[in-house]
Structure formats: structure tokens, C-alpha cells
Amino acid sequence: MKTLFVVNYVAGRGRTQREWPHVWERIQQEYRDQEIEMVVTAAPRDATRIAREAHAGGYARVVAVGGDGTLAEVADGVRDAAGQTSLAFVPTGAGCDFRRTSGVPADIFAAAQLAITGMPSPADLGTAGGTTFLNVAGVGFDAEVAAEDHRLRNRYSSTGTVPYIRAVMHVLWKYRAREMRIVADGSVFEGRFLLVAVGNAQYYGGGMRIVPTASVDDGMLDVLMGGDYSVPETLALLPRVYGGGHLGSRKIRVVRCRTLSIEATPSAAVHRDGELSGMTPVEFGVLPGAVSFVYGPERAIPAPLPTTAVHGARNPQAE
């Protein structure tokens, strides 16, 4: 089996460049009887081009070495190649939230071994405004936080959860809920919403289990709608997000759908896997089984859908 490792040395603020060469030496020694190669990305979106060319060149597996951004780029390059070129992940980036959903080991060498020997299974991709995402996209508060998080990470060259929490604190005091109209597979929800998180997978922000009901291989999106929270309410709820306990809040509703559109007044920012990707209005969708992915042994088990409703929202079709 021809395997290509696509390595982003920028990922993890130097961690990848420090640790991956040693792992690569061990991999070459342990699997010297297999066709294994490595290429290093040179620019943003380079991983997509490399993955696409690898598929055309007959590689059976392409492995993303980096963070969630690198993985998303490689996934975009091999999408719709399921059954021909599979996808695997070696998490060396800052957040690596898809690792938490997919069960890929945190240890780099163990993840690389799995990438070579593991059997792939179908995985979905989400779409936001025509572009794809693996983890979570969203509108509103979390999109503003993603922008601030990106700014702070670049400014302080930091990794992990701390910059994200700092970004949350910065945005919390200035952002207010928007009037939104949300249409999920024809069902309409209207009201004031702080955020809408659209989950293909469960985690974002370096370990926040924001959409714990999401399953990456069910052909559906899980949409979490967070109502008009005050600053004290948001601060109280924030610690519960890491374990998924926020689903018990009376201002949260989760719906499952294949298509979703969101309008906001005033217009709200949109993010896709933590990267800003425009403003509302925006449409979301899902590409079932778009990639074949090598899952780890401890995949996150989806939580059941809650029955709580969003405070202040209405569904005219149910009235």
C-alpha cells in the first residue's frame, strides 16, 4: 500500500518540526518493507493540492501530520475518493479536536502506526457556504471568539486551550445575541441567539465538547442553538461545555438535519473549523461518507439528543 505523509511543520508552533523528524526515522525503520513517503507543505492550501495529486498518483492512503487545519485541507484533497484513497491523522497541532472525536491516539508515534496499519471507515464532511469542514462550523459568538483566538495565538505564539479561553473572555464583554432565522430541513426557528454551532464532529476550541450529540459518520449535522445568554449566565455555563453538560441548559436546543440556513440581524460572523469564512446569510450541508478515515480505538460516543428548547425561539410549523 502506497502511503504519503503530508507534514505541516508550521503546525503546533514548532512542535511538529521538533518532534516529527524523530518519529519519521522510527517509522521508516519499522515499516521499511512498505512504500511510505513524506512531503512537507510550503504554503496555505498546499496540503489540498498535494493530497489531490497523491490520489491521482495512486496512493492508497494520505496521512495529515499537523493540526485540524492540515487535516481539513488533506480531507478536501481526497474527498469523494472514498474506497480509493483513505485519510489518516497524526495530531501534532495546537488543538487537534478531531482526534478527540475520532479516537486517534495523542501519542505521535502511536498515531503514525495507526495511520499505516488501521482500517478505514466512512466519514462525513460538512459544508459551509460551499467550503468543507470536519469538526464544527458556526455563527455568532463562537465565530467572533475564533477570530480573537487566531489573533491572540499569532500575537503570543501560544498553543492549547488557554488562548481560546482568553479569547472567550475578550469577546464576552462586547458581543450580544443576534436576532436569527434558522431553517433546519424546513423547520423554522426564530429568536435571539448567542451562537449556533453546526457539528459534524463534537469538539472545538481545544477540547470544548460543544456538540456532544454529533456523529461523524451518520450523514447528518447536529445543530446546537444557544439562546440569549447574559454575561453571568455564559460564565456559569462555560465550564460545563468541556464535558457536554451544557446540554441541560433551558436555553439550548439541538436539532439534527441535512440542510441548514441562517440569517441574522445584524449580520453575524461565520466560522468553519475555527477559521472565519464570511458573514450571514449562510447555508450549511453535509457530504455523507465523503472520505474514508482511519479511526482510533476510543472514538467519542455521541450523547443522546436533549429535549430542552431554546428560550425565546419559536417554530412556526409546530404552532
Please count the helices (runs of H) and the strands (runs of E) in the chain. Answer: 8, 16
Contact at 8 Å (CB) between 120 and 289? no
Terminal Cα-to-Cα distance of the chain (whole angstroms): 57
Q: Which residues are catalytic?
A: 275
Secondary structure class of 122 (helix, strand, coil) = strand
Nearest partner of 260 among 185, 202, 200, judged by Cα: 185
Give the integer Cα–Cα distance in Å for 88 and 104: 9
Q: Which cell numbers in the block locate residue 313?
A: 425561539
Burial class (CB in 10 A: 0-12, 13-18, 19+), 167: buried
Are the C-beta atoms of 299 and 103 separated by less than 8 Å?
A: yes
**Grid cell of 49 as nine digits:** 493540492
6: left (phi over 0), alpha (psi -120 to 50) or beta: beta
Q: Which three cell numbers stand for residue 279?
A: 458573514
